[in-house]
A = this chain, B = another copy of it.
Amino acid sequence: MSSPAPRTTGQDHPDQDHLWSVDEHLEDILATVRPLEPIELNLLDAQGCVLVEDVTVPVSLPPFDNSSMDGYAVRVADVAGASEEFPAVLEVVGDVAAGQDEPLPVGPGQAARIMTGAPLPPGAETVVPVEWTDGGLGAGPVRGMRARSLAPEDAMGHVHVHRPAGPRAHVRAAGSDVRAGDRALTAGTVLGPPQIALLAAIGRGTVRVHPRPRVVVLSTGSELVQPGEELGGGRIYDSNSFALTAAARDAGAIAYRVGAVADDAETLRSTIEDQLVRADLVVTTGGVSVGAYDVVKEALAHVGDADEPGGGVEFRRLAMQPGKPQGFGSVGPDHTPLLALPGNPVSSYVSFELFARPAIRTLMGLTDVHRPRTRATLTADKALTSPKGRRQFLRGAYADGRVTPVGGAGSHLVAALAHADALIVVPEDTESVAPGTEVEVVLLR
């Protein structure tokens, strides 16, 4: 700006002259936001959450020696040298089903019919699969057992065994999976289906994790009409509250969409106060720029009383396009973090991806909080232009190491956004990027 020096208005922060870099703003957010207090959740409610405890195995898996096949539990000596021509003929003493507590013992010359997962009975030394026997039917090899309910007599009589088995063949030893006292999972593990499988297998019905943050998404603007309703003159449909609620869920949050709030500071303040009871993070869109009706700025830019909504929210100008005006701070007695994003659809979405998503994932206790980035060759008809001193994020389509711009730089171009799957990053000191140049790309999927 040229002299005379720009005058501050009532809403401006003392250090308003500072133009924040994208990285400074992000660092400030991530240095402020902390993982949520851990809670004990039922196993399936903890899916996708971060474990906060080291989990120790209370009882070995499997807890007891058990059969890995449907077959016959026998003594090794009794089936030594057995063949189809010269089978070992053993007395069947009964069934050992999975879940059976005290199976009957197997003596010399005896066999117990055993099911997969059933405990190896006392006296038995090995398991012969049913396919290596006549299944007790006396007529050559069988492929399987007959159902107990249909042929109870198969649990008795005699079985012909056609092949020998060495000691502990087809036996899963107690503790061969994990042993009591082993560390099953360490704090910091993200709980996906296989980790949930292990926790269930060792008997954990609940687990201590950082919960998913509850995010209240609130759009502002007297011009906003809800989709499905009639569009009056001078009005547009509210898309930000839908886009950011979906994006918050996509980031892992439990998201609540609050319909658009008109440009009235008191209404906005009371709406935010009402919502705080269910918010671990508040995200607003619109009303953060330099206009006379920028209600978010007006409602929240109070300095001093930190317990009051807006007491701790600072409004900034970022060296970024789109997304120059941004607000960040905390509101309410619990100092709930609040991100005030700009109102243009593309600005708000890009700001969400860059700032709100990492904040949500930090609240979850994740360490990998950012979208993946890669480098790609720019495919375009002409050079991209970018304002000096601003980091530009252009919408692009990425595939196989190449990225193509989608639509223009305008922050209102929501149609192009819907056909992009990447952001092309043009650094602050770059004003033009020629086709064929390697660029940094943020992958959005």
Contacts and interface: CB of A to CB of B under 8 A. Distances in A.
Contacts of A23: none
Contact of A99 (B100, B147, B234, B445): B234
A143 B185 CA distance: 54
Interface in A140-195: 140-151, 154-155, 172, 176-178, 182, 184-185, 192-195
B292 A343 contact: no
Given A7-B139, A144-B289, A228 B243 contact: no
Contact of A290 (B144, B223, B229): B144
A425 interface: no
Contact of A231 (B148, B203, B227, B420): B203
A249 B47 contact: yes
Interface stretch (A111-119, A331-339, A383-391): A111-119
Contacts of A43: 227, 242
A195 B292 contact: no
Nearest to A172: B412
A411 B68 CA distance: 9
Interface in A1-34: 1-12, 16
A61 B413 CA distance: 9
Chain B CB within 10 Å, residue with most, of A131, A229, A237? A237
9 contacts: A5-B140, A7-B143, A11-B147, A102-B234, A117-B221, A194-B349, A201-B414, A203-B227, A205-B229
A44 to B, nearest CB: 6
Contacts of A97: 222-223, 263, 293
Nearest to A182: B415
A239 B197 contact: yes
Contacts of A182: 415
A241 B242 CA distance: 34
A305 interface: no
Contacts of A194: 243, 349, 414, 417-418, 420, 444
A428 to B, nearest CB: 20
Interface string A275-293: 0000000000000011111
Interface in A258-299: 263, 265, 289-294, 297-298
Given A116-B343, A349-B197, A410-B176, A10 B148 contact: no
Given A113-B292, A239-B197, A146 B10 contact: yes
Nearest to A197: B243
Contacts of A314: none
Q: Which of A196, A231, A241 has the most CB of B within 10 A?
A: A196
Contacts of A289: 70, 116, 144
A103 B144 CA distance: 84
Instruction: Provide the main secondary structure of the chain A interface.
Output: loop
A418 B234 contact: no
Contacts of A62: 236, 412
Contacts of A445: 192
A201 B345 contact: yes
A88 B437 CA distance: 44
Which interface residue of A115, A202, A245 has the most chain B CB atoms within 10 A? A115
B6 A140 contact: yes
A371 interface: no
Q: Which 3 A-B pairs have the closest CB atoms?
A: A205-B228, A144-B290, A99-B223
Nearest to A1: B141
A246 B100 contact: no
A366 interface: no
A94 B149 CA distance: 89
A4 B417 CA distance: 68
A54 interface: no
B9 A143 contact: yes
Contacts of A100: 223, 234
A239 B178 CA distance: 14
A146 B238 CA distance: 26
A93 to B, nearest CB: 15
